[in-house]
Amino acid sequence: MTATPELGTPRTASPELLRSVFRRHAAGVAVITARGASGPVGFTATSLTSVSAEPPIVSFGIGTGASSWPAIAGTDHVGVHILGEHQSDLAATFARSGADRFGAPTAWREGPEGVPVLDGVLAWLVCRVVGRVPAGDHRIVLAEVVLGDPSGTGRPLLYHQGRFNALRD
């Protein structure tokens, strides 16, 4: 029988417990964009998941109190952008409340279905929203891939311990 390491004291479920646990979970970084009533909107997401290959569906979470939620709640299409390790400043811009996310130095263009498409990303998708599922103070958005481009170069940006990081060999 092998010895197991000493376990810490378990804590009762709380928002802080969940945040503390997930700070230890490294996640890829994406930016979700959409066309809003007053212009483009977007936010940094670490909750992006591939849901289905046939048909190709992805999901991501967004808080209902987020400034981008009204646009995401009413749009038919979203952009999904996989960020590279060279884009930590871009990730921080789209994560910061009140930031001018689409102003300089953000490089972007209007893409298919009017979705804002960011330049210089590792990969991007334009997706048709097929569902918005209530999940506490968030919504899980299900979106079917319409088209995309996986040809960007570089390594992925990660989020871990409250910071943007690069992969290490």
131 has a pLDDT exceeding 90: yes
Q: Which residue has the higher pLDDT, 47 or 169?
A: 47
| Residue range 147-159: mean pLDDT, rounded | 96
Local confidence band at 2 (pLDDT 50, 70, 90 cut-offs): low
Whether the predicted model's global pTM rises above the 0.85 cut: yes
Neighbours of 14 (CB within 10 A): 9
Task: Count Cβ atoms within 10 A of the Cβ of residue 157 and give its class: 0-12 exposed, 13-18 middle, 19 or more buried.
Answer: buried
How far, in Å, CA of 48 to CA of 142, rounded?
10
The amino acid at residue 136 is G
**Using 50, 70 and 90 to split pLDDT, how confident is the model at 7?**
confident
The pLDDT-based confidence of 3 (bands split at 50, 70, 90) is low
Q: Give pLDDT, residue 111.
A: 96
